[in-house]
Structures are given as C-alpha cells and as structure tokens.
Chain A
Amino acid sequence: MSELFIINISIAILFLPLLGFAVVILFGKRFPKLYLFEVGIITINLLLSIYVMVVKFSSYINDALVYGFTWIDFGNVPLLGPLNIELGVKIDNVTVIMFFVVNLISMLVHVFSLEYMRGDKRFNRYFAYLGIFTFSMLGIVISHNLLMIYIFWELVGLSSYLLIGFWYEKKSASDAGKKAFIVNRIGDIGFFLGILILFTSYHTLTLDSIFAQIAAGNLPFDSAAWLTATGILIFLGAVGKSAQFPLHVWLPDAMEGPTPVSALIHAATMVAAGVYLVSRIFVMLTADAMLVIAVVGAFTSFMAATIALTQNDIKKVLAYSTVSQLGYMVMSLGVGAYAFALFHLVTHAFFKACLFLGSGSVIHAMHHEQDMRQMGGLRKKMPITYAAFLISTLAISGVPLTSGFLSKDGILAGSLAFGSLTGHWLIPILGFVVALMTAFYMFRLVIMTFHGEPKNQHKFDHAHESPFVMAMPLVILSVLSIFIWYTPLPHSPDAGWFLSSWVKTPHTVVPAELSYDFMISETPVVEDQYSEHAVVHSEKYTEAMHHAHYPAMFLSVFLGGLGILLAFTMYQWKKIDPDKLSNKLSWLYKFSLNKWYLDELYDATFVNPTIYLSKALAWFDNTIVDGIVNGAATVTKFFSAISGWFDTYIVDGFVNATAFFSGFVGIAFRKLQTGKVQTYIVLVVFSVLALIFIISPF
C-alpha cells in the first residue's frame, strides 16, 4: 500500500460526494430514483474510509501523508521575491478518524432520511444537498493549509444554509437559513483576518511551514500580541461555526431544518469543524489565546446548559445540549487537554447523532409534534427508540461504562489539572456544574417523552415504532456509545487505543515565554516536534492529570447521579412540582426560557441599526448626493436664467439707451430748428463767440 495510493483514495473519498451532488442536482428531475445513487456513493465512501483508517493505523501510524500543489503562482514579486499560494492535502491520524466519523454518520443519516423524508416533493435535491455537505466537511478535514480549510469552511456554511432552509415555504426556515449563513460569515471574517495576518507575515498558508517559521522564532509582525491575536481570530472562525457564546444564536433556529439534517450537521459534524480547526492550530496558540478559548468554552457550556433546562421543544433541548457539549470540547482545548477534546468530539458525535435521530423518529411517529409537553409514555409504543435513546442519554450524562463518561471525565480531569496549575478555578467549577445540569435536563427530556402517561391521547394512539430503516441507525449509534470500543478498562481512557497511540498532543511551537510552563516538555524532542509521535505532555501537566483523574471521576459520577435523581424526583415521582418551582424563581425561569434574551439583544444592537443605517444612507444617497447633482443642474439653470436676464436688460439696455438717448437729444435739438432764420444766425453768433473765447489765449 504505497503512500500515494492512500492519498489517491482519500482524494477519491473527498470528491465522490461532490460527484453525487452534481449527478443528483443535474439529473434529479428526470430520474426520481436517483437519490439511491447518492446513498450508494456515501456507503462506498464509508467503506473506503474504514479501509484507509485500517491501513493508516496499521502501517503509517506515525507519519502524515502530504500532497501539495501550487494553485496561484505570482512569479517573483518585486520587494518580496517568489510568491505563490499552495493548496494541498494532508492525511494524519486525526484526519482519518474524522473521515470515519463523518462518513459513518452521513451514511446513517442518509439511510434514516430514506424513510423520514419520504413523500417530500424535493426528495432528490435533499440528498444532493447532503452530498455537497459531506464533500465540504471532508474537505475541511483533509486540507493541509488554512486557505483550503477556509474554502470548504464557507462551502459547509452554504450547505447548512441550503439544508436549514430546505422547506423554504416556511418563512421561519428561510430566515433561519439566512441567519445561520450570516452569523457564520461573521465568524468567517475573523478566520479570514487570521489567514491574512499569517499570509502577510509568512507568505504561505501551509500549516506545517507556518509552524516551522513560528518555531524558528519569527512571529507575525514580530510581536507576541499579534500571535495571540491570530490565534483568537482563527478561534473566532470556530466560534462562528461551532456556535460558541457570542455567535451561537443560529444553532437553535437551525432546528427548522429536517431532523436528520440536524443530526448530521448540527450535532455531529459541522459544528465539530470548529473544534477540529482549533485543534489544527493548537500548536500555535499562546497562553493568553488558550485562556480565552477555555473561558469562552466554559461560559458557553454553562449558558447553554441553563437555557436547555427550561426548553419544551425536544429539538431545542438537544440543540442547546450540543452547544453546551461543544463548549466542553472548546474548554478542553483551552485547558490543554488536546487529546480528550478530540476524543469527546468523536464520542459526542455518536451519542448526539443517536439522540437527534431518536428525537427524529419520535417526531416522525408523533406526526411532526415537537413539543415535549404533548408527549409521554412512548416507552411502550417505541421500545427500540427508547432503548437507544436511553443509552445515549446515559452516555451524555457521563454515567460509567459509557463512552461519554470516559471523554467527559478526561475533560473534567484536564480542567481540574489546569485549575490546580494555573489557579483559574472558575473553569473546572463551571465544568462540573454543567455536568450536573446536563444529566438533569437530559433525563427530564427522557422522562417527559418516554415515561409517564401520554398527554395527547390522539397522537399517542397513532404513535408506532419506526420502521427498520430508521431504527437501525439508532441501534448502531447507541452501540457505539458503549465504552468497549474505546478502551478495555471502563475507568481509564488512557489505556485505550484512542489515546495511547492514535492521538497525541503535538508539542507547541510557541516560544517558551508565551506558552504555559506546564505545556513545555522537559525532555527535548528529537524529530520535528509537530509530527505525530511527539511527547504526549510535559511531565508537569501529565502528573497533574494523574492526580486529578480519580477525584474528577468520582465528582462527575456523583454530580451526574444527583442530576438524574433530581430529574426523577421532579418529573417521574412528581415530588417537587416543576411549575411551582418555576413560578417561585419566575424571572430566572423566564430568563432561561427566552434564551437569555440574546436574540432580542442582537436584533437591537446589530441587525436593526444596520437596516436603519442602510435606510438612512439610501435616503441620504437619494436626496443629498442626488440632490447635489440635481442642485448643480438647477444652479446652472438659475445662472443661465440670470445671464439671460442680464443679457436682455443690461447689455440690450445699453443699446436701447443709446438709441433712446440719441432720439432724446435729437428731439431736444429739434426745438432749436424754429424755422426762424434769426435763431439760426443767433446760434452762429453764439458759436463764433464760444469759439473766440475757447481759442483765444487772453
């Protein structure tokens, strides 16, 4: 299995979904059954990615396969020398894992949608959009430079726009699509600025060469602040895509899209792209950047968890839980637990997809009823869905023997270690509180939908177990949430294949004084430090992790149990009446129910002022600027009128005046011609007299 062959296969994996998209879009009208072509392609893709994964981990475990080509060549530019923009592909362990995860969930969603979307009049186009999404997602994972990541980044934004606004008849759906695209674009601008800084200072965007130059000591614009700024800017891109605190508002609205879409995009893959990007640039993050990331992650998870507590729409709860879990992953990257972040990303992808598909099958069964208060007692009617849903809920709550427990526990341990080393205790605290709330709202959801008595008898009678095509993905995903796949020992993730050999924290290239001391490995590393098998952690951080491991585990299990207990007492055994509680803490309840009023805040501060400003500018443009132009025209007309008047009255006036004057003088003199001879003679005499006086010099 030569290296080149693996690269070719990976590129094939990348472009197959695009082919699927093109074929289905162009010929979808003529062949109604064409969607099967798309499903076939995705299945092939899955098999190929499994194959690549196996080959990669068997024979090429330690080296990344890279293939780059020049996209635009500027020749040698005056003052800068040769300059070109390179695109290329890099396949390393993380890529391969992501390949597998994306393709697996995409395939399962395709299968699920066969049944779920049956009867929709744009059935083919739906699968085409799924195809282009998979293509863009795979593109992000495979590219070895930031520009290509950016290209696929926006293409993923496009496909999410298309899929969210799939049922565009509903204004809310097209609004949600537009909102998603624009909010993502805000993040993308930050990402793009980060790219600009890097390209301006290093004249290349290939990650490896950038890291080499940073390691060699020259920082962007030769200042540490700019390096931190670059890190934060690129993280801004991740904030946009992974729905972190300021830019998370689009994810809950994105629930307007079909549920399988939410499962694929807004649970597992696309939102994970942000975490993947931060992990890619993890090595160049300075200490301050990591702190910012940790704080944003922690705060996001806390905020989303509080909002999820009071939501009544099943998909909204899951959406906020996704935001919260993403906050977890970002926090773990911030605190330096690189491997655990990716591990949580993978596990979260599986159980969250399972939860979404589960909710999809519930909604499908209840004829598109999404409000939990209408559901209840579905346990008997939909046993398989209930079983899968329960396992995933256990996983997300971090109950032992599940994959969620392993990854969440690792993250919490990491945050504890980070707290102990750097004294930022707020982050671990938030982490544990969120663990409690997650368990609570997840079990609240399970109880309200599956346990207790049906609240809407009519709908309940029609509810029936989903057909095999929908049930099968649920089962697979729930099975994948069990610990066995990741580590033989249920309690310690380190022993597992995931952490021991596959994913290692690459050594940071940031100059020593800028990064955390515990991040620097004491033992100098021989090969280039950003390749696969760099030393996992500096000794200090690894020790702290070991110390923190057990307390974190016990604490998280205790809190999880407490959350579950609380959920049961309130909803199952009705000891504490949730409504009475919410009335007591009414403003807190309302604050959480209305999503911390963030949407209204954004409308008030950004959206409406922009629209108002644009109306004002358009008015300004029409009246003032156009006014000036028309004004200039009227002014010239005015002046021409004046010069016309001037011409007729003044200049002509003179002419008439002279005529009039001569006439007047003529008349005056005419009186002299009296006809009498003597007056003439008198005149002659007087004029002679006058002449004498004038000429003669007395």
Chain B
Amino acid sequence: MELYDIIFYLFAAITLLSAFIVVTSKNIVHSAFNLLFTFFGVTGIYVLLGADFIAVVQLLVYIGGILILLLFGVMLTNRITSVDIRTGTVHIIPAVIGIGILWGALTAIIAFKTNWIVKPADSMEPTTVGLGNLLLTDYVLVFELLGILLLIALIGAASIARREFEELKD
C-alpha cells in the first residue's frame, strides 16, 4: 500500500463520514460545521487527482464563500434562542432504502460494469497555465457568460435583500 493510496483512503473517509453527519444530524449547526470537513475532504481528493488550481479554488469559494453563506442562512432562519434548532426529517426509512438502491445501482454500473478507457496516470504537473489558456481560448464565451451570471446573481440577491429593508422601513 503506497502512500498515495493511504492518503486517498484517508481523504475519502473524511469526506464521506462528514457528509454522513451533515445529512443525518438533527442539529443544523452541527451539520453546517461538518460540511466544512466534507469540503476539506473533497479538496484533498482534488489534490490527489492533480488538480491543484481547482483544489485551491475549492478551498476559497466553497469553504470561504458558500459555507459562510450557509452559516448566515442558518443563523438568520433559526432563532438561536429557541432550544430546538433541530430540524425534522421526513419519512427516513423509504428515503434510506431508495437512496441505498440508487447508490448500489450507480456504483455497480459506474465502478464495475463500464470499462472506462483509462490513460496511464502520468506525472502530475501544475495545471494553472493550461487552465488559464483553456479558459481564454476555448471557453472564452463561457467565461464571459459566467461573469454576467455572477453580476445577475449579485443584483438578484441585492434586490431580494432590499425589499426586506423596505418593509422594515414602513
């Protein structure tokens, strides 16, 4: 068992375990917090896969941005004061069965059935330069559109928030 495999199993375990807790914990803050560890696990996997730039971006955007956002969401939508900030779940058993079957089917198909055309894993080298070129050559249109998208999202979020401010006013 080389080092590479061990690290992989480690990171895999972190992500899946924390994801499991996120999904099953009654306390929303706990799940929010475990989400952090899930993101860290995923970043590790990216590193193992040689996608260094993505790993960093993951760190910044997911953990830095989205997680915080979620935390804000949690804080704003639940009165900390109330004891029960637990969130209910609905009909767990059918969901577990359904998801279990889904997971079994997917893993069976993807992992074992289809024999992917696998290129021998070559040495890892930094990908940022390739990505940069790629973004501004093949995917320039997508790049610009993303820019616009983010702008719209910004305006949207602002407009929704603003309405909230007005009610308070009158």
Residues of A within 8 A of B (CB): 678, 682, 685-686, 688-689, 692-693, 696, 698
Known contacts A678-B90, A693-B105: A685-B98 contact under CB 8 Å: yes
In addition to A689-B101, A689-B102, 14 A-B residue pairs with Cβ atoms within 8 Å of each other are: A678-B90, A682-B95, A685-B98, A685-B99, A685-B102, A688-B102, A689-B98, A689-B105, A692-B105, A692-B109, A693-B105, A696-B109, A696-B113, A698-B113
Residues of B within 8 A of A698 (CB): 113
Complex interface residues of chain B between 107 and 154 (CB less than 8 A to chain A)? 109, 113
Cβ 8 A contact of A682, one of B98, B101, B106, B113: B98
Q: Chain B contacts of A682 at CB under 8 A?
A: 95, 98
CA distance A698 to B102 in the complex (A): 15
Nearest CB of chain A from residue B110's CB, rounded to whole Å: 10
Contacts of A693 in B (CB 8 A): 105
Chain A residues with CB below 8 A from B106, complex form = 692
> Which of A686, A692, A693 has its CB near the most chain B CB atoms (within 10 A)?
A692
- List 3 A-B pairs, minimum CB-CB distance, nearest first: A692-B105, A689-B102, A696-B109
Chain A residue nearest to B102 in the complex (CB): A689
The smallest beta-carbon distance between A333 and chain B, in angstroms, is 127
Question: Chain A: which residue is nearest B98 at the CB level?
Answer: A685
Contacts of B98 in A (CB 8 A): 682, 685-686, 689
Could you say which residues of chain B place their CB within 8 Å of the CB of A689?
98, 101-102, 105
- Please report the C-alpha to C-alpha distance between residue A689 and residue B101 in the assembled complex, in whole angstroms: 8
Q: Can you list 20 residue pairs at the A/B interface with Cβ under 8 Å?
A: A678-B90, A682-B95, A682-B98, A685-B98, A685-B99, A685-B102, A686-B98, A688-B102, A689-B98, A689-B101, A689-B102, A689-B105, A692-B105, A692-B106, A692-B109, A693-B105, A696-B105, A696-B109, A696-B113, A698-B113
**List of A residues within 8 angstroms of B95 by Cβ:** 682
Task: Report the separation of the CA atoms of residues A693 and B104 in the bound assembly, to the nearest whole angstrom.
Answer: 12
CA A696 to CA B109, docked complex, whole Å: 8
Instruction: Across the interface, name the chain A residue whose C-beta is closest to B101.
Output: A689
Q: Smallest Cβ distance from A416 to chain B, in angstroms?
A: 137
| B99 / chain A contacts, CB cutoff of 8 Å | 685
Chain B min CB distance to A689 (Å): 5
Q: Which residues from 80 to 102 on chain B have a C-beta closer than 8 Å to any C-beta of chain A?
A: 90, 95, 98-99, 101-102
| Residue in chain B with minimal CB distance to A697 | B113
CB-defined contacts of B102 to chain A, threshold 8 Å: 685, 688-689
Shortest CB distance A575–B (Å): 143
**Chain B residue contacts of A692, Cβ below 8 A:** 105-106, 109
Roughly how many angstroms separate A682 CA and B99 CA in the complex, as a whole number? 10
Tell me, in angstroms, the Cα distance from A698 to B113 when the chains sit together. Answer: 8
Please measure, in the bound complex, the distance between the C-alpha atom of A693 and the C-alpha atom of B102, giving whole angstroms: 10
Distance A686 CA – B99 CA, assembled complex (angstroms): 9
- A685 and B95 CA atoms in complex are apart in Å by 10
By a CB distance below 8 angstroms, the chain B residues around A696 are 105, 109, 113
The distance in angstroms between the C-alpha atoms of A696 and B111, with both chains bound, is: 13
Please give me the residue from chain B that is nearest to A688 by CB atom.
B102
Distance between A687 CB and nearest chain B CB, rounded to angstroms: 11
Bound complex: CA of A678 vs CA of B90, how far in Å?
A: 10
Which residue, A682, A686, A688, A693, has most C-beta atoms of chain B within 10 A? Answer: A682
Task: Give the docked Cα–Cα distance between A693 and B98 (Å).
Answer: 13
Shortest distance between the CB of B105 and any CB in chain A (Å): 5
Shortest Cβ distance from residue A415 to the other chain B in the assembled complex, whole angstroms: 132
Q: How far is the CA of A685 from the CA of B90 in the complex (A)?
A: 16
In angstroms, Cα B90 to Cα A696, docked, is 31
Residue of B nearest to A696 (CB): B109
Residues of A within 8 Å of B90, CB to CB, are: 678
Across-interface contacts of A686 in B (CB, < 8 A): 98
Rounded to whole angstroms, the CA-CA distance of A45 and B73 in the bound complex is: 150
User: How far is A689 from B95 in the complex, measured between Cα atoms in Å?
Assistant: 13
Bound-state Cα–Cα, A693 to B105, Å? 8
Give the complex CA separation of A446 and B20 in angstroms.
Answer: 156
In Å, the complex CA distance between A689 and B94 comes to 14
The interface residues of chain B lying within 8 Å CB-to-CB of A685 are: 98-99, 102
Query: How far apart are B35's CB and chain A's nearest CB, in angstroms?
Result: 19
Q: What is the minimal beta-carbon distance from B58 to any residue of chain A, in angstroms?
A: 25
Distance in Å from the Cβ of B20 to the closest Cβ of chain A? 18
CA distance A688 to B99 in the complex (A): 11
Chain B nearest CB, measured from A680 CB (Å): 14
CB distance from B87 to the nearest CB of A (A): 13
Nearest Cβ distance between residue A54 and chain B, in whole angstroms? 145
A507 to B11, CA, bound (A): 154
Q: CA separation between A698 and B106, bound complex, in Å?
A: 12
Q: Closest CB-CB distance, B73 to chain A, in whole Å?
A: 16
Distance between Cα atoms of A696 and B105 in the complex (Å): 10
A689 to B106, CA, bound (A): 9
A218 CA to B129 CA, complexed, in Å:
139
Q: In whole Å, how far is A134's beta carbon from the nearest beta carbon of chain B?
A: 128
Complex alpha-carbon distance, A696 and B99, angstroms: 18
Instruction: Return chain A residues, CB-CB under 8 Å to B109.
Output: 692, 696
CB distance from B170 to the nearest CB of A (A): 30
Query: Within B41-78, which residues are at the interface with A (CB < 8 Å)?
Result: none
B95 to chain A, nearest CB (A): 8
> Complex Cα distance A688/B106, Å?
10
Task: Report the Cα distance A685→B101, complex, angstroms.
Answer: 11
A463 to B109, CA, bound (A): 147
The distance in angstroms between the C-alpha atoms of A692 and B95, with both chains bound, is 18
CA distance A152 to B136 in the complex (A): 134
CB proximity of A627 to chain B, nearest CB, Å: 75
CA distance A692 to B90 in the complex (A): 26
- A676 nearest in chain B by CB position: B90
The answer for the CA separation of A686 and B102 in the assembled complex, in Å, is 8
Q: How far is the CB of B32 from chain A (nearest CB, A)?
A: 19
Bound form: Cα–Cα A338–B101 in Å: 133
Q: What residue in chain B is nearest A678 (Cβ atoms)?
A: B90
Q: Which residue of A lies closest to B114 (CB)?
A: A696
- The closest CB in chain A to the CB of B94 belongs to A682
Bound state CA distance, A324 and B129, in angstroms?
Answer: 156
Contacts of B101 in A (CB 8 A): 689
A693 to B101 CA separation, bound complex (whole angstroms): 11
